[in-house]
Amino acid sequence: MTTVEPAIGDAFGDVLRECWDAGAEAGHTFEVIERDDGLLLLADAARYFAGANPWSTHEAAILPLATGRVLDIGCGAGRHLAALGDRCQPEGIDPSPGAVQVCRARGLAARVADIDHLPAGAHGKDAYDTLLLFGNNLGLLGSPEAAPGRLAGLAAVAAPGARILGSTTDPYATTNPLHLRYHQRNREHGRPAGQLRLRVRHQAIATPWFDYWWTSVAELEQVLAGSPWRLSAIERDPGNAGRYAAVLMLR
């Protein structure tokens, strides 16, 4: 059997740059997300450049709560930065140098960093009032093991009264046998059903594997218990039972 090992690199950034270079139009560049059971998910990269209108309504419903100093964590090509630019000066971080490059080419403030390496010096008056984890990025809490440290890290750069605005997907809302088998495999290994291991592939490049954790509302509340954050509101996507946005308040 042939062993396939794509070279490790900034596949996500490569996708965004290719899409941006092609005018960010739909139908040109597709992102391939690979799950560690071999599942390939394809999606048009143009969605990373979409304006506010095509967004999921559950995210749009809570976006007005983004106020003050805003940090978009995992900002991608900057669609949320662009949407917020009218009323504040949001900053974005993304571990992908290519993503940051695209944001800057679009005139958006972004730098290379990630949820485990949040911008330093964000203390006191430089602290953030809003931490954005849209686009399913509540999944960046990573795992039951990683989540407490990440929630504490987010609190460390947050101003009093700060909010996390995030979105994710309830993994239990699916009836897709592929996903149900994946859940079962997770359970057999002592992991929550919605524990995902993913990487992005593009051409002959793949990102490193990363953990992404989809949680039900109950699981989210459980991981928030004892953290510096409390669940303040839930907004469900009327078009997709599993998808929801959450507002978390700093305690």
Which residues would be at the binding site for its own copies (CB under 8 A)?
1-2, 4-7, 27, 30, 32, 34-40, 42, 178, 197, 201-204, 206, 209
To the nearest whole angstrom, how small is the minimum distance from the Cβ of residue 193 to its own copies? Answer: 17
To the nearest whole angstrom, how small is the minimum distance from the Cβ of residue 19 to its own copies? Answer: 13
To the nearest whole angstrom, how small is the minimum distance from the Cβ of residue 4 to its own copies? Answer: 5
To the nearest whole angstrom, how small is the minimum distance from the Cβ of residue 172 to its own copies? Answer: 19
Strand partners, 212: 196
To the nearest whole angstrom, how small is the minimum distance from the Cβ of residue 33 to its own copies? Answer: 11
Tell me the backbone φ, ψ of residue 186, rounded to 5 degrees: -60, -50
User: DSSP class of residue 23?
Assistant: T
DSSP helix/strand/coil, 245: strand
User: DSSP class of residue 125?
Assistant: G
Looking at the Cβ atoms of 45 and 151, the one nearer to its own copies is 45
- Rounded distance between C-alpha atoms, residue 83 and residue 74, angstroms: 15
What's the per-residue H, E or C state across 24-85? CCCCCCEEEEEECCCCEEEEEHHHHHCCCCCCCHHHHHHHHHCCCCEEEECCCCCHHHHHHC
Looking at the Cβ atoms of 99 and 206, the one nearer to its own copies is 206
Looking at the Cβ atoms of 42 and 225, the one nearer to its own copies is 42
To the nearest whole angstrom, how small is the minimum distance from the Cβ of residue 178 to its own copies? Answer: 5
For the chain, give percent helix, strand, coil, nearest 5. 30, 30, 40
Looking at the Cβ atoms of 125 and 189, the one nearer to its own copies is 189
Looking at the Cβ atoms of 21 and 37, the one nearer to its own copies is 37
User: DSSP class of residue 192?
Assistant: -
Strand partners, 215: none
Looking at the Cβ atoms of 27 and 121, the one nearer to its own copies is 27
